[in-house]
Amino acid sequence: MQQLSGVDAGFLSLETPTTPMLIGGVSLLDPETPQGRLEVETLRQLIRRRLHRAVAFRRKLASVPLDLTRPYWVELDPEEIDLDAHIEHTELPEPGGWHELSELMAWELGQPLDRDRPLWKMIYVEGLRSIPGIPEGSVALIGKVHHAAIDGVSGAEILAALFDGLGGDEPGPEEPETSVAPRPPREEPSVVDLLRRAGKDLAGAPLAAPGKIGRSLLGMAGGAWSRWGKTDKAAAPPLPFSAPRTPLNRSVTGERSWAPAFFSLDRLKAVKNAEGATVNDVVLALCATALRGWLFDSSKLPKDPLVAMVPVSVRAKEEKRDAGNRVSAMLVSLATDEADPLTRLRRIRDAAQASKTAHQAVGAQTLVQSADLLPFALSGLGVRLYSRMQLAERHRPAFNVVITNVPGPPRPLTVGGAPLLAHIGAAPLFDGLGLILPVFSYAGTLSIGVTADRSILPDTHSFAQRLEEALDELETVVDASAREFPEENRP
């Protein structure tokens, strides 16, 4: 058994009936393979052979009575996992296009996972008939995993289990049944076992707390020095709860909306090279442009710039294959008060660099370790009270939107020999956060899975179109600037 970290347990605490804490994704596949068509039963057999590759597939929660301390993960034998329950099968209604697939994805994002099983599920979807650029007869795999089990980077372990050639052993679909030795039968931990472990954890907490508190205070002092030591205070990163109020930042419902947007990585790189930025800076600018246009059209654009929370992985190389969350966060101003798209990009580029510097001064690991100090029972009670009293409407938001960028494989992949045509992500919402924009790159294409609360942003397809149009606009102004200002005279 392994106890959840403070960050992992926090995602359990954040979950309410209206806020399932699910990381998800849609993979589009051409199911025809040299070995025959990839059917749902073929997929189950493939995952059965690869269960040893990803611990998130094999472990379930064991909660301590009265939530005295954080829960534990209990690893199951592969034979104990019911793949009929974890891998479902459905078919899209006519006409089988993006609208139908998006509606199915949105519905799945609103359905919590069964905590009595390992916290993951896949849905094998047939009936894709009218998705542009995708051959008729293709299939989709909708996957969802609880955020307590993985973050965007540790999710790569699940990708290694699902996709051929990423597991470090056999490159193709035909692999040995298992690569782990069978273990002796094991019983579930009893209440007495869990209480005994909880007692040890509670007894050791006072000894560990001073060191963690000291490191947290030193980290915060470093962050304050990096901020207030600046000559130009306007260039300092935004503080938490300084973001403007927007329609995005209120209590959410249990209904989701979802839609994909796609971009050529080559186009994004051309813009970033022209402006001395990063691909992530350009993506932030596209999101800022779409948000500005959506709020402006509804007369809800605040005078102060929106603030994005950008997750930052703090996973060490030796933790690459570990499950769970190793993630911190930084805040970046999106310059939505700026009308000119090129100036907006340049301001975001500079703001992102300032936020990185401040984040390094705080010490990312410090922020992660500080979460271990929160009592699990009190954090869950606090979240439920916050949701029930709809407190998200009563204060300025900590940030307005989350934009999370996960680099994916640069080369084409297959699942059981079936080519992966595209992959788009999704991520969880909670009270105060009605929109999250997960970014994923794969084989020369970058996707954004627009994930929103349906009562706040019902038409995510129109928002996705705004994102795609934002790149067209940015390319136009960057090209015009390049013609007007030679590179050596460029701002």
Instruction: Tell me the catalytic residues.
Output: 147
**Which H/E stretch holds residue 87?**
strand 87-91
Q: Please tell me the distance from the alpha carbon of residue 5 to that of residue 324, in angstroms, as a whole number.
A: 8
Exposed, middle or buried: residue 200 (CB in 10 Å: 0-12, 13-18, 19+)? exposed
Q: Output 270-274 pairs: Cβ under 8 A, ≥24 positions apart.
A: 270/475, 271/345, 271/471, 271/474, 271/475, 271/478, 274/478, 274/481, 274/482
Q: Which residues, 6 or more positions from 325, have their beta carbon under 8 angstroms from its beta carbon?
A: 5, 7, 8, 11, 147, 148, 150, 151, 154, 368
* 276 backbone dihedrals φ, ψ, rounded to 5°: 60, 35
Q: Which residues, 6 or more positions from 471, have their beta carbon under 8 angstroms from its beta carbon?
A: 263, 267, 268, 271, 286
Are 143 and 163 in contact by the 8 Å Cβ rule? The answer is: no
**Token output for 371:** 């979460």
End-to-end CA distance of the chain: 56
